[in-house]
Amino acid sequence: RIQFWKGFNFQDLKPVIPFLKKLGVDAIYSSPILKSTQGSNHGYDVTDFQQVNGELGGEVGLFDTSNVVHSEGMKWIQDTVPNHMAVNNENTYLRDVFKFGKKSFYWNLFDFMNTPEFRNRIDLFILGDPYEEVLNSGKISVVNPKNPSIKVYDQEFPMSESGLSMVKSISGGSITNESIKRINSDPAMIHSILKRQNYRLKYWKSGIEGTNYRRFFSVNSLIAIRSENTKYHVITMQKLLTLFQKGIVDGFRLDHIDGLYSPENFLIRFARGTGNAPVWVEKILTGSEKLRKSWKTLGTTGYDFLYYCTYYFVDNSKRRELRDFYTRFSGVRNSPGKMIHENKKAYIRNSFSHEVDFLSHIFYDFLHEKIYGQDITYNKTREFIEELIPSFNIYRTYLTTGSRNPEDIRIMHDTINLAGKRSGLKEVQKCMIRMLDSAFIDGKALYCFQKLQQFIPATIAKSTEDRTFFQYNMIIALNEVGCLPEKFSVSRKSFHSYMKYRAVHWPMAMSTLSTHDTKLGEDTRARIASISHTVHLWTEYVEKWHKMNLNHKVMDGNRELPTKNHEYYLYQILLAQNPDMWIENTRLKERIHGQMIKAIREDGTMTDWNFPDEMYEDRLSRFIDGIMGSAEFRSSFREFYVKAQFTGMLISISQNIIKLTAPGIPDIYQGSEGLNLNFTDPDNRGNVDYKHSENLLEKVIKMHDQGNYEGICNGWKDGTLKIFINYILLNFRRNNP
């Protein structure tokens, strides 16, 4: 997997291709390459589906590099984003909507939530201060008399036809620099012009509880698109399909498939357009959930593999001992399952209230058309929806036209009944069941449930991956994308059962241990997983370190700052690097600080992204500096580190051997051919030192040719052994397809 951005573009990949070929890689697995927000370091904030990103080298650069890849006998697998786009003035299609509103051809491309408050105006949460302050400060103005637009800070937005008419009227029919100057001197006049735009400029904090468009999760800067609308399918997918037809790309990854209105129908259309190109889907499978065999895909991108391969190497016999210690030490008493449910409800209340409004309106409007729904109020409907969404325990169901899957119906039926039990709203529950029973003969009922399905993944992902995973820290190796923190390990029987199922049904699915979205790099995760094999030792050291480091804390009454839960998380993160390097490696310190700030903001108990507690964050930073600078702590930590480093290596090497030999297609995230000691993004999206990897591979090949396997094994600390395993098994796979 290669992460392209302006700091590593198509041309930068070319000199790396011979190394990847020699390593045994068969395909480049590329991050999104279509035009995205300027300076984007990931490419998922697309601004134009019909252009290759110029910052990466444009179409010419892509063709050139792809030709080199193919000349080496390798393929190109392309990540694509069918669910959302960027919300900014760079978005080609949104600019048209900003100007023409509902008259725009692209109006229905975007998934607006048509509630009574919508009024056909898009909320843009781009103001750094309250609207009135920004307006009165002169930071919103009318500019350019020849083609008037609205300037907000350094961004310019198109003016609507109605707004333009008003500017002309104020200017006496002819817009001049003088008339614009007069307009900009009067905030009330600018406000009147803004009221006539097809968008509303709003203070960013007012968007915390939601927007009037469906988003990617709760990210206001990413607006969802309606991929189910066939007239836009050509616009959003045509460039990629053309690249496939020209042989520039050979297959696709489809990002966030669960965000689509009907994933199965989208995959059918996509297969028709490409002639059944190889396609993998980013799909989280929870618990016993299975990927739909009817989907036109080779399988998932491998988070299910990561789950089994991680949990298999955790020692289940020490679960109770570690859990009891963690509970006692951290003071965290809720189970992960309870945390997830409570976090779902909190997110629905605080971040998804607009989505709940929209769903409540469409369900209420439907029920009020029916005789059986006449006594149901809007407030009761909303209260029920608030309980229904967090009651789902899988990422989503797939009720859709022509697909009456009994399992989907059962899950929806059971979840409605569970929500009824939890809320006590029995009458609403009965109406919802009747509505569900009619869904396949009543298109309006089915539409309501299909829109509901689209919102479920956001609440589960945010409450689990972006909240509970940073609150419940018993062993954070388990807190990974696609994983279940309420479980502790998987048995040998379960592991082999999964692999057999994969071999029969999804032999071409991806197998991954690290991605651009994983919370930890695979070798960091393996070291932390090793804690389960030395629980007694770990708990002794944690108690010892806590007493040793108390002088670096601040007492707030009876409470220690930073909290013991955050302290416990920090000790695990520090296993990523030898304490002998803590002082001299300033970059490592920056990374530790960055990861800890991200972790405690995601946790949300002491600080968060929207309302950071600078005092608490400063105390945490001082604590980190204090303990990393303590010779006594470094010496003590080293004693445990050397054990975790070795056991972690055994786990990592074992996992990589399985990845390279088990059913599936191995996905090697950039840099993971050697040690991957990264943290959560953006830490895991930086450039890779490929020169170091090349030198390591050359050394390994030379040692292999000399039969110096003892030397290779002795190089386990610097990644020599790991890159050797990758080199031998990747080339074995290539030579024995």
Amino acid residing at 525: R
- Work out how many domains the chain is built from and give that number: 5
Give the residues across from 85 on adjacent strands: 223
**Threshold 0.85, pTM exceeds:** yes
Tens of pLDDT, residue by residue over 257-293, are: 999 999 999 999 999 999 999 999 999 998 778 999 9
Listed residue (235, 242, 214, 10) closest to 115, CA to CA: 214
Task: Give dist(CA 539, CA 454) in Å, integer.
Answer: 43
| pLDDT grade for 558, boundaries at 50, 70 and 90 | confident
> What would the pLDDT profile of 415-442 be if each residue is shown by its tens digit?
999 999 999 999 999 999 999 999 999 9
Per-residue confidence band for 469, with pLDDT thresholds at 50, 70 and 90: very high
Q: Do 138 and 78 reside in the same domain of the chain?
A: no
pLDDT in tens, 121-130: 999 999 999 9
Tell me if residue 32 falls in helix, strand or coil. Answer: coil
Give pLDDT, residue 492: 96
Residue 281 DSSP SS3: strand
Identify the helix (H) or strand (E) that includes residue 69.
Answer: helix 58-71
Asked if 438 and 539 sit in the same domain, the reply is no
Last residue of a domain, one of 181, 212, 243: 212
The residues facing 585 across adjacent strands are none
Is 80 in the same domain as 96? no
Q: Is the residue at 509 inside a domain?
A: no
Range of the domain at 207: 92-212
How many H helices and E strands in the chain?
A: 28, 19
Angle of the 443-464 helix axis to the 336-350 helix axis, nearest 10: 120
Q: Share the mean pLDDT of the chain.
A: 96
**Contact (Cβ atoms closer than 8 angstroms) between residue 400 and residue 266:** no
Q: What is the pLDDT of residues 350-362, one digit of tens each?
A: 999 999 999 999 9
| Residues 67 and 112 grouped into a single domain | no
d(CA 539, CA 545): 10
* Residue 248 maps to a domain: yes
| 637 and 704 inside one domain | no
Cβ atoms of residues 194 and 140 within 8 Å: yes
> In 10 A of CB 565, how many CB atoms?
21
Whose CA is closest to 279, among 251, 259, 250, 237?
251
Q: Are 118 and 195 within one domain?
A: yes
Burial 344-358 (b: 16+ CB within 10 A, else e): bbbbbeebbbbbbbb
Q: Which residues pair with 279 in a beta bridge?
A: 252
pLDDT tens column, 89-113: 999 999 999 999 999 999 999 999 9
> Which residue shows structure tokens 């593999």?
305
Would you say 666 and 673 are in contact if contact means Cβ atoms under 8 Å apart?
Answer: no
Tell me the pLDDT band of 497, cut-offs 50, 70 and 90.
very high
Query: Is residue 388 within 8 Å of residue 416, measured between CB atoms?
Result: yes
Q: State the pLDDT at residue 534.
A: 97
**Whether residue 124 sits in one domain with residue 185:** yes
- 622 and 566 housed in the same domain: yes
- pLDDT tens digits along 132-147: 999 999 999 999 999 9
What is the crossing angle of helices 161-170 and 177-184, to 10°? Answer: 100
User: For the domain that residue 615 is a member of, what is the CATH number?
Assistant: 1.10.10.470
Residue 736: DSSP 8-state: -
For residues 673 and 726, is the Cβ–Cβ distance under 8 A?
yes
Nearest partner of 511 among 355, 352, 304, judged by Cα: 304
Domain boundary, last residue among 464, 485, 504: 464
Decide if 676 is inside a domain: no
DSSP for 80-135 reads E--SEEE-STT-HHHHHHHHHGGGSTTGGGB-B---TTTTT-EEEEEESS-HHHHH
pLDDT value for 83: 96
